[in-house]
Structure 1
């Protein structure tokens, strides 16, 4: 096996009639077998080859997560070309940069809106010969073709056989919390390693159903695509974020991967609902949560759980936790969290509910998956031990260095940046971490994002941000500030979907502008900050905070498409507010 298309071909041969993908339809959900997937990929690949796709060329995909994204990706790879991924939220100029920097000659676009985006910068795309639109109309000038109309003749198997392990498979542009995005070059062998390493863990079985909503433009989503082909596990695909909860109840999947923001949202919605209802329900929820976390922490420390506690936990499960599991279909074996740090408080709550989250870690530069907690030995606060075949060491300054087949080939067209990132075969992650006696990795923070106070003390902002969000269910994002300052402060944003029902029930203003300065809202945030500050060293406590009117979003520029905060963007936009925290002129 030398490539992802050959992996697909092996999967089709092994289980041709087994379910491969499930996708939304007018009547509910429609399934495709591996054989049917192979037929569609073959036809599209020959059509793309006829349009010029082949070894040494690139094809960009500009679409949200859907079945056609995966079919397009597999077809592109089958021609010997490489896929370049573009987030559908990217602007026209951002899309043009990725397309031109990668040298893409064909773009596969989701709909007419995405085509219009490309049309607005068409003069900057002289190398693009065709745009294939999935849900849209072809153009009279022949530049835009229908995705499902592309077909061709040729020897598909010969194309696949010609692909080498070290050939470029994917160009993924880092979402760039700082600076210009860089194109990460990942080979077929990078992905084959990652998929095989996950299989070696024995996490998945033929009875599993994977629910995929993550952006396939992100390396985490791409990894899951390869893992499911390798393992043969069926995947239900729907990239609509507002449908996640509903889809899980209908599909009853056995596992799902997500960014921490999704788990925070679920936790906060549940907690805020109980707080709004108050009375006996709130008391039962609060008691059940405390009981569950007491059991979880005892398990984590290998302590025996007294009979009385076990009986209390069984009652808590029947009254509260079983209902939460039912909301997700009742069959979840585990969740997987990646792309950003997961708050330990959130992890403990889900584990208490019988919905264990396996936190993992990896970079686009390491094919997304390098570390993962195992179901039988989860250690909250860590990202688990390395995947089989991945090596790790900690540099003198605490930076995590990764080695193995998953490490990228380099940055596209950037030899100096490549040399800086790959030192003696080791990938410099830019993250600070430490290994425990069992080889599990704990990530402290981003090396470049650590706060150094004016007193010389280091503070990890993401750790505090996660704890504050977990302590107050009404918050969407928290931004901790304090680099070269004499104390730490925070900006917080409200999750209006969660907070509005509570505000209305309490007779408070239901719009963010009025609510942000209301004494009740300020008191809720103050309580969460005080809870987190308790037990922290003085230099890492939050001394002041402000509630913002607007949430951080991808569209407004404060978040990357993978929902990480762009720290410099926030500091730039809210510099006046941050400076006011330290104003000593009064």
Structure 2
């Protein structure tokens, strides 16, 4: 293991309520029980019944904490009735929806362990995850997930029952698949026989009991199962509560995949803090839902912020004239105010007057597109371009970028609402220790760190040392105010044939802040004599550009393969190159005739680039950049 520098912790002048961490609940089950007891009649969740309203639109339904408790206890008791014992595994294969939250809490109060599976996971990997975790029961979202499980049934003999959220999918000649309603009916019968069943299971839970196994997509070989204990989740929730970033009167909008550690954390925080959550995993409905739900905060991946930033700016470019000039003036004033706020100052005099006017005429109207009440976005899972983040702050919606991994139960560092620095991932959570190794790698220690990789002691030994330090594989640095900045993944850094190191994610993030039409920008150049890139253009954004450039009505492939599109991208690449070191500049690029997607396996469900997959899939195109060089 590499040698390390002195550890760095949260700045001492930050107000932190350490009692919340020291006196936190023993388990997620205890945390849920305490939340129900504290606010039984408060709204816990809002969720959409698709097309249920009289006009055919979605109908949003609410559920109180006591109503959630009744459903969760029935699910938990139903699992016990199926023979699920303490710390035995129950898998969840579903997109983000209300039933996912109920099922996960049902697993927690039954004393069992949730194993998460993305609904897009291929058959072979699902079979591996279920077998490796030894899952006894699987919650399956719909007929597609049930069909997948039936295809691999012979490979997973340990799965005794499949519970589907879709009653119509609970069909077949056998009783291997049952509906969620049927499971809850089993639970009601069990609770009638043993009223204290769930409380007994919760009482038996301890901080060091296993709560969750989340399988990460490995760059090579099989996924690795990250073992997270109950104390990891209760620590994360208490630590976030202790820094007062979120409040009980907040309203969360949750769309992130709950199979992802960030989504799972955002599902745990309400148990600690008490705010309600509007839950809907349909990515294409995010903007529409924000206007309806009117949340005060939301967690998201950088791609969501990039798309929203580009969409608003392109709409104003299309408006042109006085409206465009007013928009640019207002956001310029907002940027000046944002720079002051970052320093802990407030605008006064002429700037204060200009900002009030800009807010009334323009900035408040931009916020209305996001529901009008957002006070905080949290960005995670990949680097967010700081110009994009700054723009959101300029219109009055703070983006607090954070950092963490599956192995650290999501949050390790985060910018606060009271202290933040754009381009950084903030301060560590209280109770988490961080060391910076001599080679710049970040090392972490604390209750949020995983117990190890499931059934994989060799992989565990590679990243967890004898003193409990987790070696992240991320390169970072810390400034004089204690704010951390992640410069790249250690494995993603590459060296050109000229011996110069290049950090691709920084270049990629910078380009996304420059070009409003880009979707993905993939930097390449390991052991090559120069750096090149693969580019994809956003299908929605490029259509507006095409209309304005005489290509309206043409297909996406025709537009992006045109000389005009290449010249447009080249202009932004030139602008990018002007701010890079000579050895980092993009000498050649190819625009793909299609975007990268989750379904194609080129992006993770949290919209993070699968760099190795893309590099291998488009090897011929990348090689062509260097032919004859």
- Answer whether contact 1:107 1:130 (CA < 8 A) is retained: yes
Kindly indicate whether the alpha-carbon contact (under 8 Å) linking 1:177 and 1:565 is maintained by their aligned counterparts in 2.
no
Q: Deviations over 1:98-147 (max 9, x none)?
A: 11111111100001111011111111111111100101323331100011
The answer to whether 1:53 aligns with 2:53 is: no
Aligned to 1:473: 516
Matched, 1:139 2:172: yes
| CA shift digits 1:385-415 (9 cap, x unpaired) | 1001001010111000011000000000010
2: distance between equivalents of 1:173 and 1:300? 37
| Conservation of the 8 A alpha-carbon contact between 1:198 and 1:387 | yes
Q: Structure 1-normalised TM-score?
A: 0.97
Q: Aligned with 1:360: secondary structure? A: strand
* Residue 367, structure 1, aligned to residue 413, structure 2: no
Query: TM-score, with normalisation over the residues of structure 2?
Result: 0.90
2:125–2:222: 8 Å Cα contact kept in structure 1? no
Aligned partner of 2:383 in structure 1 is 341
Contact kept in structure 1, 2:46 and 2:63, CA below 8 Å: yes
- Whether the aligned pair in 2 keeps the contact of 1:53 and 1:76 (CA below 8 Å) is no
Tell me how far apart the structure 2 counterparts of residues 545 and 282 of structure 1 sit (CA, whole Å): 31
Whether the 8 Å CA contact 1:491–1:545 is kept in 2: the answer is: yes
Displacement, 1:56?
3.2
- Offset of 1:298 from its aligned partner? 4.9
User: Does the Cα contact within 8 Å between 2:337 and 2:346 map onto a contact in 1?
Assistant: no
Deviation readout 1:294-350 (Å, 9 max, x if unpaired)? 443354467886744444444433333221101111111110001111111111111
* Structure 2: tracts of 5 or more residues without a match: 1-24, 54-58
Q: Secondary structure of the residue that 2:241 maps to in structure 1?
A: helix
Q: Which has the higher contact order (CA 8 A, sep 6+)?
A: 2
Aligned partners of 1:144, 1:293: CA distance in 2, in Å?
56
Residue of structure 2 in register with 1:331 after alignment:
373
* Structure 2 partner of 1:96: 127
Aligned equivalent of 1:230, options 272, 279, 302 = 272
SS in 2 for 1:183: strand
Q: Per-residue displacement from partner, 1:497-521 (whole Å, max 9, x unpaired)?
A: 1211331243215322211232332
What is the DSSP-based 3-state SS (H/G/I as helix, E as strand, rest coil) of the residue aligned with 1:265? helix
The match for 1:6 among 30, 33, 36 is 30
Distance 1:213 1:302, change over 3 A: closer
Q: 3-state SS of the aligned residue for 1:428?
A: strand
Alignment partner for residue 44 of structure 1, among 75, 86, 89? 75
- Give matches, 1:261-410, under 5 Å: 261-300=303-342, 307-410=349-452
- Residue number in structure 1 paired with 2:225: 183
Following the alignment from structure 1 to structure 2, what is the Cα–Cα distance between the partners of residues 127 and 23? 33
Mapped pair 1:570 → 2:581:
no
Of stretches 212-221 and 168-177 in structure 1, the one that deviates more from structure 2 is: 168-177
How far 1:441 moved relative to its partner? 0.8
Q: Deviations over 1:237-259 (max 9, x none)?
A: 11111111111111111100001
Aligned residue in 2 for 1:32? 63
1:15 is aligned to 39
Distance of 1:54 and 1:264 partners within structure 2: 45
The separation in 1 between residues aligned to 2:354 and 2:87, in whole angstroms, is: 63
What is the SS of the residue equivalent to 2:281? coil
Residue 491 in 1 paired to residue 520 in 2?
no
Aligned residues: 585
Q: Which residue of 2 aligns with 1:434?
A: 477
What is the rounded CA distance, in whole Å, between the counterparts of 1:393 and 1:293 in structure 2?
34
Q: Residues 305 and 329 from structure 1, CA distance in 2 versus in 1: closer, same or farther, beyond 3 angstroms?
A: closer
Asked if residue 64 in structure 1 is aligned to residue 95 in structure 2, the reply is yes
Instruction: Tell me the equivalent position of 1:108.
Output: 139
Instruction: Give the gaps of 5 or more residues in structure 1.
Output: none
Distance between the aligned counterparts of 2:253 and 2:606, measured in 1?
Answer: 18
Q: Which residue in the other structure is 2:558 paired with?
A: 514
CA distance, structure 1, for counterparts of residue 565 and residue 343 of structure 2: 36
1:198 and 2:219 matched: no
CA RMSD in angstroms, aligned pairs only: 1.7
SS of equivalent to 2:535: strand
- Tell me which residue corresponds to 1:548: 592
Whole-Å separation in 1 of the counterparts to 2:355 and 2:102: 46
State the alpha-carbon separation in 1 of the partners of residues 325 and 588 from structure 2.
Answer: 31
Counterpart CA distance in 2 for 1:86 and 1:220 is: 14
Task: Give the SS at the match of 1:369.
Answer: coil
The 3 A distance-change label for structure 1 pair 422 and 31 is: same
Partner of 1:260: 302
Please list, as runs of the form range in 1=range in 2, the aligned pairs for 1:418-457 lying within 5 A after superposition: 418-423=460-465, 424-457=467-500
Moved more, 297-306 or 385-394: 297-306
2:546 to 497, 503, 512: 503
Q: 1:250 aligns with which of 292, 304, 307?
A: 292
Q: Distance between the aligned counterparts of 2:454 and 2:428, measured in 1?
A: 27
Return the alpha-carbon distance in structure 1 between the equivalents of residues 530 and 322 of structure 2.
41
**Helix, strand or coil: the match of 2:373?**
coil
- Matched residue of 1:107: which SS? strand
CA positional deviation for 1:486: 1.8
Deviation string for 1:37-92 (max 9, x for gaps)?
11111111111111111213101000111111011011112122100000011122
Q: 1:177 to 1:341 in 2, by over 3 A?
A: farther
Give 3-state SS (helix, strand or coil) of 1:84's partner.
strand
Cα deviation, 1:218-265, whole Å, max 9, x if unaligned, reads 000111111111111111111111111111111111100001110011
Q: Per the alignment, do residues 127 and 255 of structure 1 end up closer, same or farther by CA in structure 2, a change over 3 Å counting?
A: same
Q: How far apart, CA to CA, are the structure 1 residues paired with 2:356 and 2:520?
A: 34
Aligned counterparts of 1:94 and 1:168: Cα–Cα separation in 2: 22
**Distance in 2 between the 1:518 and 1:483 partners?**
29
Q: Residues 272 and 499 of structure 1 are in contact (CA less than 8 Å); yes or no, is this contact kept in structure 2?
A: no
TM-superposition CA deviations, 1:462-508 (whole Å, max 9, x none): 11111111211111111011111122111110111121133124321
